[in-house]
Chains A and B, each alone.
Chain A
Amino acid sequence: MLAAILSRLLRMVVVMFGISVITFLIFFATPSSDPAARIAGRNAAQETIEAVRKDFGLDRPLYVQYGLMMQRLFISQDLTSFANRGQKIIPTVMAAAPATLSLVSGAAVLWMLGGIVTGITAAAFRGRWPDKLLMGISMMAVAMPVFWVGEMVNLVTQNRLHDTWAFSWVPALGYTPFSENPGLWFRSMVFPWLTLAFLYIGFYGRMLRTGIIETYQEDFIRTARAKGLTGRKVLLKHATRSAIIPIVIMFGMDFGVLVGGAAVLTEVVFGINGVGRLTYQALKVLDLPMIMATVLYASFFVVIANAVVDLLCLLIDPRMRRA
């Protein structure tokens, strides 16, 4: 058990190292242009570019450059943006994280509940109209770009209907921290949550339904039926329970990816100042250090989330301890 945990943690560290190398190579070793000029930003003066070159050690071998970069990112944490002079990167990313976390965790609760209810209902009514209806909606949800759904939601809630009784409670686009005004925070997050959750309810509902139906072919379900359990008990206690494990693994992954910044589209459309929108704004001014930091932050978050999920599975399922 302990060995399994340690080996998983070691793997996590190795993957993190690999990711930092890949990110570094993308930004510093692609042959297309001068990294110093890219870091210094658009229309930088020649002196600035030279200063950057010296500062980042870009005239030295690649492994030295890598070492210096990581030192600045993680140890001294004094990497600054060149597009917005003097803006410290790491504190800025950390300040944006709570907004993303509010968006993703709220949506996560909704999509797990929605996905599980959708999957179980569809499986229970397999082939009949509730199944067809739910699966039809799920397919639509998966087919629409999430930012477009967000725009359509805005079109309904922020436009002409905004002044009617139906949507007058929706505040203008933007994010209010929970600590400032919990009520406003909640009201401003309702539609972003629903928008983001809608897509994932589609994914999870479909996946759980398929999983449950596949589980029904297994021997232990036949045994459960044979010993006289009711259909509902077989569905909820046996089939769903075994089909839900891949969903939980999936959830850890998606949650990590979204908190890491994959919610960028939702954040941009709803004007939420999270990590994703930070990346988007950095993108507009080509603020390379900022983008590199957010990408690294994101992928590390994903790796950690995956490791946590795997460790939880180790605790839940003894069969995995041997692997």
Chain B
Amino acid sequence: MLPESDKTAPSPAVTAGEDAGRRRGPWKRVFEGLIASPTAMISAGLLMLIVVATLLAPVYAKYVSGTDPFRSGLSARIKIDGKPTPVMQQSTEGLGLGVTPIGPTWGPQYLLGADGQGRDVAARMLYGGRNSLLIAGAATLICLFWAAIIGIAAGYSGGVVDGVLSNLIDMIWAFPVYLLAISLSIVMIGKSFALGPFEISSGSLIVPILIIGLVYVPYVARPIRGRVMAINQSEFVMAARGLGIRRWKILLRHILPNVSTTLIVFAPMLMALNIVTESSLSFLSVGVQPPNASWGTILQDGQTLLYSRPWVSLAPGFAIMVTVLLLNLFGDVLRDVLDPKSARGR
């Protein structure tokens, strides 16, 4: 699912324009590159806007919609054109049995309608977006951290350590990501468990964060390993070694800075992938657990209402699509800036 990761393993700072880069400092050059790109600036700005909007969820719930998005509102009534209207409406189709939640009112209350439990979808979208972004972001950091450790350990030490680690990576790679996540969540969801000194309850957001963070580790660790091995063979590292500089110093001064750019390039793409993964797992009911909301759980809520109240499914889908699109657009520019070699090919 990460087809470009293995192939276009970016090779930034080493090859980056040596002369210009040296004088201005590599990070400043990257920053300037991003500023100069309208795509990067617009997508970053819109992403910020999405983050701020989700952070304002409580404000929206309190002052605009005035509904509690976590309590079911099966018997609630709202005023439309001055007339009190029940949120759960008696079905008018077929036998008239059962109730259908109210559709989009396009007003402050129930802007996008209600879900199967009579909760305000618009307010849940904001709260859910918060969780989706939090899970995707935290999982990205966990994934990059472990991928860096495993990739560097395998690539830098070589020998037996490399043999064991890369075989392990290959094995985990062979599990379809969703099935691995399903297996992990089955043993983690349903019962609280201890992670070191911490007690993690089964409904905690930490469970999906850990699962999503860990399943993609091989996809990042593999290119990192290759990258470390390439840098290790490069002339400047050989020279450093020839000068008698210690191994750990070479690791800190030469390997790490070069790998860090690769990690940064992965970050937005991974975050985009994690958002989609979260929604898929929640859709299969092994991600975020109720009563917590996320874009994925709203999609799951909307599944049974697809034909009668499509907005419950449409809204989170659009939110995911836009966020992922923005992250990928930003990620493309970031890669081109960090890796001028790949930019040439574009």
Where the two chains meet, the residues of A that have a C-beta atom closer than 8 Å to any C-beta of B are: 14-15, 18-19, 22-23, 26-27, 30-33, 38, 139-140, 142-148, 151-152, 154-155, 158-159, 203-204, 206-207, 210-211, 213-214, 217, 246, 250, 254, 257-258, 260-262, 264-265, 268, 279-280, 283-284, 286, 288, 291-292, 294-295, 298-299, 302-303, 306
Asked if B224 is at the interface of the complex by the 8 Å CB criterion, the answer is no
Q: Is the CB of B285 within 8 A of A295?
A: no
Q: Is the CB of B306 within 8 A of A155?
A: yes
Q: Is the CB of A143 within 8 A of B307?
A: no
With A279-B182, A291-B183, A303-B174: A32-B3 Cβ-Cβ less than 8 Å: no
Q: How far is the CB of B344 from chain A (nearest CB, A)?
A: 7
Q: Is the CB of B179 within 8 A of A261?
A: yes
Residue of A nearest to B184 (CB): A26
What 0/1 pattern do residues 95 to 110 of B give for CB contact below 8 A with A? 0000000000000000
Q: Is the CB of B303 within 8 A of A204?
A: no
Asked if B9 is at the interface of the complex by the 8 Å CB criterion, the answer is no
The interface residues of chain B lying within 8 Å CB-to-CB of A22 are: 171-172, 175
Q: Which of B276, B280, B306 contacts A151 (CB 8 A)?
A: B306
Given contacts A145-B299, A146-B280, 19 further A-B contacts (CB under 8 A): A31-B194, A143-B272, A145-B317, A151-B299, A151-B303, A151-B317, A158-B307, A210-B8, A210-B345, A246-B7, A262-B178, A265-B284, A283-B186, A283-B285, A284-B285, A291-B183, A291-B186, A295-B175, A306-B174
Q: Which of B175, B178, B180, B313 contacts A148 (CB 8 A)?
A: B313
Q: Which of B3, B176, B306, B344 contacts A217 (CB 8 A)?
A: B344
Distance between Cα atoms of A38 and B188 in the complex (Å): 12
Q: How far is the CB of A160 from chain B (nearest CB, A)?
A: 9
Q: Is the CB of A143 within 8 A of B179?
A: no
Distance between Cα atoms of A264 and B190 in the complex (Å): 22
Asked if B266 is at the interface of the complex by the 8 Å CB criterion, the answer is no
With A15-B174, A26-B187, A32-B193: A206-B284 Cβ-Cβ less than 8 Å: no
Asked if B53 is at the interface of the complex by the 8 Å CB criterion, the answer is no
What 0/1 pattern do residues 1 to 31 of B give for CB contact below 8 A with A? 1011001100000000000000000000000
The interface residues of chain B lying within 8 Å CB-to-CB of A214 are: 345
Distance between Cα atoms of A216 and B12 in the complex (Å): 21
The interface residues of chain A lying within 8 Å CB-to-CB of B175 are: 19, 22, 295, 298-299, 302
The 5 closest A-B pairs by CB, nearest first: A32-B193, A143-B324, A262-B176, A148-B317, A18-B171
Where the two chains meet, the residues of B that have a C-beta atom closer than 8 Å to any C-beta of A are: 1, 3-4, 7-8, 167-168, 170-172, 174-180, 182-184, 186-188, 190-194, 272, 276, 279-280, 283-286, 299, 303, 306-307, 310, 313-314, 317, 320-322, 324-325, 328-329, 344-346
Interface-central residue, A15, A151, A292, by most chain B CB under 10 Å: A151
Distance between Cα atoms of A38 and B175 in the complex (Å): 22
The interface residues of chain A lying within 8 Å CB-to-CB of B186 are: 283, 286, 288, 291
Residue of B nearest to A305 (CB): B174
Distance between Cα atoms of A14 and B167 in the complex (Å): 9
Q: Is the CB of A147 within 8 A of B325?
A: no
Q: How far is the CB of A81 from chain B (nearest CB, A)?
A: 15
Q: Is the CB of A144 within 8 A of B303?
A: no
The interface residues of chain B lying within 8 Å CB-to-CB of A140 are: 321, 325
Residue of A nearest to B316 (CB): A148
Residue of B nearest to A147 (CB): B283
Q: Is the CB of B183 within 8 A of A265?
A: no
The interface residues of chain A lying within 8 Å CB-to-CB of B187 are: 26-27, 30, 32-33, 38
The interface residues of chain A lying within 8 Å CB-to-CB of B7 are: 207, 210-211, 246
The interface residues of chain A lying within 8 Å CB-to-CB of B1 are: 203, 254, 257
Q: How far is the CB of A221 from chain B (nearest CB, A)?
A: 13
Distance between Cα atoms of A214 and B9 in the complex (Å): 13
Q: Which of B4, B276, B286 contacts A206 (CB 8 A)?
A: B4
The interface residues of chain B lying within 8 Å CB-to-CB of A295 are: 175, 179-180, 182-183
With A210-B4, A265-B284, A279-B182: A142-B191 Cβ-Cβ less than 8 Å: no
Q: How far is the CB of B322 from chain A (nearest CB, A)?
A: 8
Residue of B nearest to A17 (CB): B171
Q: Is the CB of B313 within 8 A of A151?
A: yes
Distance between Cα atoms of A9 and B247 in the complex (Å): 37
Residue of B nearest to A304 (CB): B174
With A15-B171, A286-B186: A299-B176 Cβ-Cβ less than 8 Å: yes
Can you list 12 A-B contacts with CB-CB less than 8 angstroms, sorted by A residue number?
A33-B193, A142-B328, A143-B324, A145-B276, A145-B280, A145-B320, A147-B283, A148-B313, A148-B321, A151-B313, A152-B317, A155-B306
The interface residues of chain A lying within 8 Å CB-to-CB of B272 are: 143
Q: Which of B178, B179, B307, B345 contacts A155 (CB 8 A)?
A: B307
Q: Is the CB of B286 within 8 A of A283?
A: yes
Residue of B nearest to A149 (CB): B317
Q: How far is the CB of A16 from chain B (nearest CB, A)?
A: 8
Q: Is the CB of A299 within 8 A of B174?
A: yes
Residue of B nearest to A203 (CB): B3
Distance between Cα atoms of A284 and B189 in the complex (Å): 13
With A217-B344, A265-B283, A306-B174: A207-B4 Cβ-Cβ less than 8 Å: yes
With A19-B174, A145-B276: A279-B179 Cβ-Cβ less than 8 Å: yes
Distance between Cα atoms of A303 and B313 in the complex (Å): 36
Distance between Cα atoms of A283 and B300 in the complex (Å): 15
Residue of B nearest to A23 (CB): B183
Q: Is the CB of B329 within 8 A of A139?
A: yes
The interface residues of chain A lying within 8 Å CB-to-CB of B344 are: 217
Residue of B nearest to A33 (CB): B191
The interface residues of chain B lying within 8 Å CB-to-CB of A211 are: 7
